[in-house]
Structures are given as structure tokens and as C-alpha cells.
Amino acid sequence: MGSTDKRGRRLFLDLNNAFKRDNRIDEFDYIPVMEPQTNCSPVVLVNHKLGIEMWSLKILLQFAYHSLMEWRATSKKFIESQEIICLSRAVVLLNPECSTAWNIRKEYVESGELTMAEDLKLSALVLTKHPKSSETFCHRRWLLSRFIDIYLQSSQGSNLSTGSGQEGFVSMDAIDLNMDLPQVNPPPVQNGVHVDGPMDYQNQMKTEIHVCTCAAEKYPCNYYAWSQRIWLIQHAYNCSSQALVGELHRTEGWVSAHISDTCGYHYRQFLLSSLCRQRESLSQQLSLQYTDLLEKEQGYIVDLIGTFPGHEAMWCHRRFVFNSLYRHYSQDLSPGSPDRGLIGESATQRQKKTRLEFEPSEWAQKEEESVKTKELKSLSSAQKQLAQKYLDWMRKIVIK
Amino acid sequence: MKLYALSVLYKTGDNKATRLISAHELSSFGYFQKSSVKEFMNFSSKIIVERTLASSRSSVKEQEYICHVYVNSNNVGAVLIADHEYPQRVAHTLLNKVIEEFEKKIDKKYWSISKEDEIRLPEVELLLTKYQNPKEADAMTKINADLDETKIILHNTIEAVLQRGEKIDDLVEKSEGLSLQSKTFYKTARKTNSCCVIL
């Protein structure tokens, strides 16, 4: 135990030195070296990338974890807080699911001995090695909630007075406007809001989106990363229709490049369902029709399915889009639906509606025909099978 | 969907293959993994071409990767390593294209005498970049529809390609192209069934 302890402390100091030498470390990984080969330290720092040789992981983790737990179990004395912050850092780098270590860091953030920026940076680094660590995402949510609270408090009075309340803190530059959004009536949003705090709100949220994208890239179907993104849209952007439309536009490319990643589609489904709930504000503020967005999504997914045959994830998304459209059309026909006679409806829109004022089942028939003539005739047997399943499912949905 | 490596190899009489050109796109791998991943991609390209008969094509699955391979009647082989999402038809179209380019630009006499990675052909790199987006690349080559997909032999693991008595672990152990670190990398990845390594 004694020798392990000494080596552990040595490794721990090496790690701390690495962080001291470079405060722009942007990647962390284990290096597959199972036995110490040279006399050099197993903690390697090149090009802002931090690597630890595998043989030393166990020794380092044991040392850091036990020291930390011992300190917590005893009366929390004799060790400086900076040392504890470093110990918890070592623990979460190697085992990010250790909630105690994260909680210790939370306490230091609350007491002000550790800055939020620093902790956001560390947890982002942890995610480069452990992209689907739920505890790490959870810790970030805690940090961001705190950040949002501070921001809201500091900007109270200046922003909340702008009528539409919480929408006030969604600045235009959070959303790519190079999309086909008509620029006629820019929504009542203040441009260039500045946070009085050390970090700028918009930048922070953009960073978070970036962190989520990187984690999603690193690990396919990364549920945790996409949940984080949903959480962010809900809490930092309050599900504003602008943010939702912006995200819908922004994730299009990602989804087309990761066609079998269910999480990407699920995220779009979340966006579309949220937009469905705010159809009215969508057409009033952004002059966009929910139906148009759905129809566009249908075109998008049908095109993807045609290009890349045989992936189930896409067919599931097609089901979602079909179901939403079908329900929407059916609702449109029923008297007294909230969509009737909406102001801001363009002429073409109304025309379209009258054209669609046929039976929705007729429209469904068309979709069925299209699947039968296209996908069902595909050369790929997987595609054929999926198309058949889709048709069977459709028959259950459409009540004739 | 991603393409990771594209290489051209020449098969000599004794069923050995020499890698003449190779291009890689490994930006999605971690800094400390890149070199090992590259070595493994080269290693597997080679063993697959060595075990593929002339004028035949196949696609070999290995964990989350697929190695598409085509060896033509002149014993020129090309291997493309992609992920599962990448359409097979486009992958094989690219293989045709790269071999065609190679035979056109490089004189036959250099094929057998050149050493590993000695031949420079920037087109290989360009093709690898261009084909990253299969939709765009495919639109330009759609006319080239003479590819019969049913002729592609599918293998579910790299082990299925090996000859009787051969074991992948032995091949890795004996390989000269793999560094000690890469061999360790392979062993640990095998043990943890990790998703970070080819093979």
C-alpha cells in the first residue's frame, strides 16, 4: 500500500502540473501502454491533448478516490480546498460517474472557491473521453441552471419588461437566419444582450450546443447528449419558436450525415412537437406555418430514404411525420379547430388548405401509392421489408 | 456516414500485396488513437486484398466498419474503409474509379517494383474527400450503373476472409507494420470490446 500511495501521489502531482502548464487542454484520452516502459511520466501533454498511460490509471484513481473519501468521511480538516478541488478533478477524469466527486465540486462552486467557468471547462474535457457520461451532463445542467438564474437576476428589469417575457433573452444571433425565414417582421427581440457576469449568455449556450454536438459525434445514438440539448432548448431558450426553428434548420445537415442515428430524428421530433404546441405564435411572429414545416420534413425524410435505403431509423421518423400530418389534417377538417381562420395565413396557404380539404384518407392513399411504386420496388431487401412494415402500420393508423 | 481510408494495392504472384498509395481521413478519432488506427487500417486493407481473388469484389464487416474491396483482373486492388451508413453501391463505384485513375496515370512497369506508399497520386486523396458526401459524389457517377450489386460477396467478420488455420490474433502479433503500442491497443480493445479500433 505504501509504495502504491507514493506512486499515486507522484501521478497526481504530474496531472496537476499538466493542468498548470496548459490551461487550454481540449482533449483527454487513455494511452494503451500496459506497463511502464521508460522513466518518463505516464501523464503526457502534447498539442493541448492530455493522455494518461493505461497502467497508471488504477494507481492514480485509487489514490485520488481514497484520499477524497477519507477527507469527506473525517471532519474535513487538514487539507486545503485547492487540493480537494484537484483530487476531485482527478477522480472525475477517470471515473465521471462518481457523483460524490461532482457534488464536492458543486459545494466549492457554491462557496465561490471554484469558478463556474472552470468547472464547465473541466466537464467538457471529461466528455471528450466519456461522451455519454450521465453524471457529467447532470453536473453541467446544474452549472447552467445556476448560470441562467444569475443571468436572469442580473438582467431583471431590463429584459423582462419587453412584453413577451422570457422570449426576451433569446437573441437573434442564436439562430441562423440564413434560412428561408422571411425577414419582414423581425420578432420583438433585443439584439446584443450582454450579461453583466463574466460570461456572455449567448456564447455560453452556443458552447453548450457545441459540446452536445461533439459528444453526439463521438458516440452514436448518444441519448445523454441529445437529452442535454433538449433540456437546453427548454430551459435556456424556453422553447421559443425562434430557437426551435433555428435548431430544426441547424440539425438538418447533421442528421443527413448520420442517417442511422435515432437520437437525431428524435430531437427533430421534439422540435416539431414543441412547434405544434405553439402554431399560433409561429405564424404570427415568424410567418411560418406548422403544416409547411411538417410537409417540408416529409419531403426531407422521403428524399433521405430514397438515397440511403435500408435504415430503420429513417422509417421510424417517416412514421412520426406521417402521423403528425395525418392527425393535423384530420383536425383541420373538424369544425371549431383552433387553426381555422388564423390571421396571417397567406393566400397560397388558404388555397392549399382548400386543396387539402379533401379527405385526409385520400392524402394517405397517395402516400401509400408512393411507397408502393418507389420503396417497395427497391433492389435492397432490407428497404423492401421496411417499406412493407410501414404500409402495414399505415393501414392501422388510417381509419377508412 | 464517413469514409476513413482508401488505398491501392498490387498483388504479386505469391499472394502478397504491396500498398502503393493510401489516403486517410481520421479527424474523428482522438489524438492519441490516430496513429494506431491508421496502422490498423493499413494492416487490414492488406490482409483483405491478399485474400481476395482477382476480378472479384467483397464487403467485409468488422464491428462498426466495413471494408469494401475490389481486385481487378490485372491484380490491382483497392480497399475503402467506411462505416455502416455509407451506401455499398457508391463505395464500389469509388473503388472502380480509383483503380481506373491509377491504371491511367501510373505506368504498368512501376506496379510491381514500387515500394510501400512510394507512388504519389493526389487524385486518391481528392476522391476520398469528394466521396465523403455520397449524395453529391453519386450524382456525378449515376450513369455508371453497370455495377452489379449482387456480385459483391459479403463477409460478416474479418475472420471469415481468413484462410483455414489462420487466426487474426496471430496475424496481428506477427505483423511488422504494427507498432508495439498498436498491438497493445488491439489487445485492450478486444478485451473491452471497445469501439475505437478497426479489427
CB contacts < 8 A (A, B): 50
Q: Which of B1, B31, B184 sits opposite A33 (nearest CB)?
A: B184
Which residues touch A313 (CB under 8 Å, ≥6 apart)? A259, A260, A261, A262, A265
8 Å CB contact of B31 and A51: yes
> Is the pLDDT confidence value at A284 over 60?
yes
pLDDT tens-place string over residues B27-70 = 999 999 999 999 999 999 999 999 999 999 999 998 889 999 99
Last residue of a domain, one of A49, A81, A114: A114
Give B61's DSSP letter: E
| Domain span holding position A101 | 2-114
8 Å CB contact of A308 and B85: yes
> Which residue is it, cell 501502454?
A33
Question: What would the grid cell of residue B47 be?
Answer: 490482409
Please tell me the distance from the alpha carbon of residue B96 to that of residue B145, in angstroms, as a whole number. 12
> Which residue of chain A has the CA closest to B180?
A33
Fold of B3-192: Beta-Lactamase (3.30.450)
Residues in A touching B84 (Cβ below 8 Å):
260
Q: Which of B31, B86, B92, B132 to mutate to test the interface with A (most CBs of A within 10 A)?
A: B31
Scanning chain A, the segments in alpha helix (DSSP H) are 2-21, 57-73, 81-94, 99-111, 116-129, 134-154, 201-218, 223-235, 241-257, 262-277, 279-285, 290-307, 312-333, 347-356, 360-373, 381-397
Q: Total structural domains in chain A? A: 2
Residue A181: which region, alpha, beta or left (left: phi > 0; alpha: psi -120 to 50)?
beta
> Which segment of A133-137, A388-392, B6-10, B158-162 scores lowest on mean pLDDT?
B158-162
B residues 163-192 lying closer than 8 A (beta carbon) to A: 181, 184-185, 188
> Which residue of chain A has the CA closest to B36?
A32
Q: What is the mean pLDDT of chain A?
A: 83
The whole-number pLDDT of residue A357 equals 56
Residues in A touching B63 (Cβ below 8 Å):
none
- A369 near B CB under 8 A: no
Residue A131 counted as domain residue: no
Region A193-197: what's the mean pLDDT?
A: 41
Q: How far, in Å, are A123, A216, A278, A303, B64 from residue A133 at the CA level?
A: 10, 12, 33, 34, 21
> Is the pLDDT confidence value at A332 over 80?
no
Last residue of a domain, one of A114, A146, A180: A114
Confidence label for A5 from pLDDT (cuts 50, 70 and 90): confident
Top pLDDT among B110 and B195 is at: B110
The domain spans of chain B are: 3-192
Residues in B touching A49 (Cβ below 8 Å):
30-32
Confidence label for A91 from pLDDT (cuts 50, 70 and 90): very high
Question: Of the ranges A156-170, A328-342, B162-176, which is most confident?
Answer: B162-176
Top pLDDT among B25 and A161 is at: B25
pLDDT tens-place string over residues B59-78 = 999 888 999 999 999 999 99
The whole-number pLDDT of residue B23 equals 96
B residues 56-115 lying closer than 8 A (beta carbon) to A: 64, 84-85, 87
Q: What is the mean pLDDT of chain B?
A: 87
Residues in B touching A217 (Cβ below 8 Å):
28
8 Å CB contact of A311 and B134: no
> Which segment of A2-16, A179-193, B28-42, B57-71 scores lowest on mean pLDDT?
A179-193
Confidence label for B7 from pLDDT (cuts 50, 70 and 90): very high
- B136 near A CB under 8 A: no
Region A177-202: what's the mean pLDDT?
A: 42
Global pTM reads 0.85
Confidence label for A198 from pLDDT (cuts 50, 70 and 90): very low
Please tell me the distance from the alpha carbon of residue A301 to that of residue A264, in angstroms, as a whole number. 12
ipTM score: 0.86
Strands B56-62 and B153-155: parallel
Residue A6 counted as domain residue: yes
> Is the pLDDT confidence value at B157 over 60?
yes
Residue A24 counted as domain residue: yes
Residues in A touching B87 (Cβ below 8 Å):
307-309
Q: Work out whether the CA dihedral A116, A118, A120, A122 comes out positive or negative.
A: negative
Residues in B touching A309 (Cβ below 8 Å):
87
Residues in B touching A27 (Cβ below 8 Å):
30-31
> Which residue of chain B has the CA closest to A54?
B188
> Is the pLDDT confidence value at A199 over 60?
no
> Is the pLDDT confidence value at A104 over 80?
yes
Single-letter amino acid code for the residue at A20 = K
The whole-number pLDDT of residue A163 equals 37
Residue A229 counted as domain residue: no
Last residue of a domain, one of A89, A114, A139: A114
